[in-house]
Amino acid sequence: MAQKRVIVSGMRPTGKLHLGHYFGVIKNWLKLQDKEGDKYIFIADWHALTTSYTNVEKLKENIEQLMLDWLACGLDPEKNVLFIQSKVKEHAELYLLFGMITPKSWLELNPTYKDLKYNLLKLYNLKAQFLEKVLPLVPALVEGLKLKVEDEKKFKDLLAEEISEAIVKALFEGYVEAELLKKLNIDKKLLYQIDTYGFLGYPVLQAADILIYKGNTVPVGEDQLPHIELTREIARRFNRLYGETFPEPQPLLTETPKVVGIDGRKMSKSYNNAIYLSDTAEEVEQKVRKMVTDPQRVRKTDPGRPEICPVFTLHKLFTDEQTLKMIEEDCRTARIGCVQCKKILAQNINNFLEPIRERRNYYASNKGELWDIFNQGSEQARKVASQTMEEVRKKMNLP
Ligand code: SF4
């Protein structure tokens, strides 16, 4: 008999969603929700803490924003189990037990962790170099400033530490790979703070998130493949040690079209270039009006190059074939101006967002209903998760 498909996927609550999230993740979930199989879609709030544990003031608000965005986009609680990770404590229990059987080296080889370590080492090294140079200067400084210092050693250490910190911070930009910060979705100041046990272990938590539902299909982008491989390795190891329990999940590679932001770079909250699903029609118009275009097209009479124009790239996602063709030709022959072209784009984005806004407003004014959906989903997920845990405890001879 063919195995039932069990899809597990999640998203960290980091604020409101933008068009990049919609086309990168949500659109795929919407496609999958009408296909056969069980779908568990969760808000990964514990994962958010692995990089942002110092910054929890907005966590609950971010969770709610994500709930609103998901339902607004049309994720259907009848077709998916929509839930909040921290409300299903069994994830934490399985995470702990998986932690017992996962060799540390598997985690240290995780590319994101390796990148973090590499960047941190570069910074520590830089700091050490400065300390070496700064320390010998301190006695002269104390002398020159005629300072009365009771504990010279303590003062020397403090001064050296402060100076080197300040210098390292000033040089930070050039020394840390911007891509890593973007990938981790953190501020550069936070990089020092995430060299934690929680961050090292987050792929184990991911494995628990998937396997607790016996998930066998995980929709991911290419960059997530190493994590799925680790989940498979953990499943294999558990099965070998305690008997066949977990499936080895397969990645379902998802198509992620290029979604550019208003400055032409990849759309991202950290670049401050995003169009949010919750933006008003006026905000969308304003943002599109500000978009960069073909830099060679200075006057309306200059022919344009749609292939390098971010406005045209976005048109491809929102504009029908016929209009798209017309814009392409008219741009090349300077028959359409950028102002007009942007007006069409803003209108089309607004047409697309209008039903999303409507549903969002509905749930924003009916928060009780919104939370009920996610609380019930969490309860539903919990039933399945606790069955798996019973089986796991039995296999591991836990009382
Ligand atoms: S007409 Fe449109 S596609 Fe052509 S350069 Fe202007 S904004 Fe870009």
Backbone φ and ψ for 266, nearest 5 degrees, come out as: -55, 140
For 232-245, the pLDDT digits (tens) are 999 999 999 999 99
The yes-or-no verdict on residue 196 having pLDDT over 70 is yes
Confidence of residue 220 (pLDDT cuts 50, 70, 90): confident
Separation of CA 312 and ligand 1 centre (Å): 6
250-253 β-sheet, strand order: 81-84, 38-43, 6-11, 217-220, 250-253
> Does the beta carbon of 44 lie inside 6 Å of ligand 1?
no
Q: Which two tokens stand for residue 159?
A: 């001064």
Chain centroid to CA 195: how far? 18
Please state at what angle helix 310-318 crosses helix 338-365, rounded to 10 degrees: 50
Q: How far apart are CA 361 and CA 254, in angstroms?
A: 29
To test the pocket of ligand 1, the residue of 260, 288, 311, 323 to mutate (highest count of ligand atoms within 8 Å of its CB) is: 311
Structure-model confidence comparison of residues 365 and 183, the more confident one: 365
Locate the ligand 1 atom nearest the alpha carbon of residue 336 and give its number.
Answer: 1
Backbone φ and ψ for 24, nearest 5 degrees, come out as: -80, -35
Domains of the chain: residue spans and CATH: 6-107+197-258+367-395 (3.40.50.620), 117-192 (no CATH), 279-365 (1.10.240.10)
| Beta bridge mates, 10 | 42
Locate the ligand 1 atom nearest the alpha carbon of residue 297 and give its number.
Answer: 5
> Does the beta carbon of 304 lie inside 6 Å of ligand 1?
yes
Residue 186, pLDDT score = 64
Q: How far apart are CA 382 and CA 399, in angstroms?
A: 20
Instruction: For residue 20, give every residue at least 6 positions away whose Cβ sits within 8 Å of its Cβ, in sequence order, or none.
Output: 259, 261, 266, 267, 268, 274
Separation of CA 322 and ligand 1 centre (Å): 16
Separation of CA 280 and ligand 1 centre (Å): 23
Q: How far apart are CA 336 and CA 111, in angstroms?
A: 46
Give the C-alpha distances (Å, rounded to integers) separating 127 from 119, 165, 167, 168, 335: 12, 7, 8, 6, 58
Q: How far apart are CA 260 and CA 7, in angstroms?
A: 28
For the range 95-102, what are the long-range contacts, defined as Cβ-Cβ under 8 Å and sequence gap of 24 or more? 95/201, 95/204, 95/205, 95/207, 95/208, 97/392, 97/396, 98/204, 98/207, 98/208, 98/211, 98/234, 98/238, 99/201, 99/204, 101/234, 101/237, 101/238, 101/241, 102/204, 102/207, 102/234, 102/237
> Does the beta carbon of 331 lie inside 6 Å of ligand 1?
yes
Residue 98, pLDDT score = 98
Separation of CA 305 and ligand 1 centre (Å): 7
Confidence of residue 348 (pLDDT cuts 50, 70, 90): very high
> Does the beta carbon of 220 lie inside 6 Å of ligand 1?
no
Q: Tell me the whole-structure pTM to 2 decimals.
A: 0.85
* Protein residue with its CA nearest to atom 6 in ligand 1: 338
For 92-130, the pLDDT digits (tens) are 999 999 999 999 999 998 888 888 787 777 777 777 777
Structure-model confidence comparison of residues 132 and 358, the more confident one: 358
> Does the beta carbon of 288 lie inside 6 Å of ligand 1?
no
Locate the ligand 1 atom nearest the alpha carbon of residue 328 and give its number.
Answer: 3
* Protein residue with its CA nearest to atom 1 in ligand 1: 338
Q: How far apart are CA 346 and CA 141, in angstroms?
A: 61
For 259-291, the pLDDT digits (tens) are 999 999 999 887 899 999 999 999 999 999 999
